[in-house]
Amino acid sequence: MHNPNRGPMAGMTAAHESGDSVAGREAQPIRGDDGADIIGPGNSQRQVQERFLTTPPRTDHGTIPNLKWSFADSHMRVEEGGWSRETTIRELPVSKQMAGVNMRLRTNVVRELHWHKQAEWA
């Protein structure tokens, strides 16, 4: 038996209240009656990964920095044998003691093992 209350819009109110994505639509900065929709381009995949960027909790006043960084946001360096992208203190200021590199090399390409001084990465 068909339930007219369970159509494609069912559950939209709860998702709308929390700002979550609904049926492929991007999350919106709306909490109850507060906020408004985004009328421009967005990044729905990032919004799904980190919903608090779009709709932060009421207790978030923006004073604590985002301590997450995605390698997908880092500059990609493309070379003959593959690619690499690094995250340093430049992208993630809290990371004063460590840097990271994400790399892909083609088959039969060798990366020489080496070290860097801390000052070289910062």
Predicted pLDDT at 25: 58
Residue 61 domain flag:
no
Residue 43 domain flag:
yes
Predicted pLDDT at 8: 40
Same domain for 76 and 114? yes
Within 8 A by CB and 6+ apart from 67, the residues are 92, 94
Predicted pLDDT at 111: 86
Q: Please give the tally of structural domains in the chain.
A: 2
Same domain for 42 and 81? no
Q: Strand, helix or coil at 75?
A: coil
Note the residue count of the chain: 122
Domain that holds residue 46: 7-53
Same domain for 81 and 49? no
Within 8 A by CB and 6+ apart from 32, the residues are 17
Mean pLDDT by 10 residues, the chain (122 residues): 44 44 64 84 78 84 79 88 89 82 91 78 58
Predicted pLDDT at 122: 55
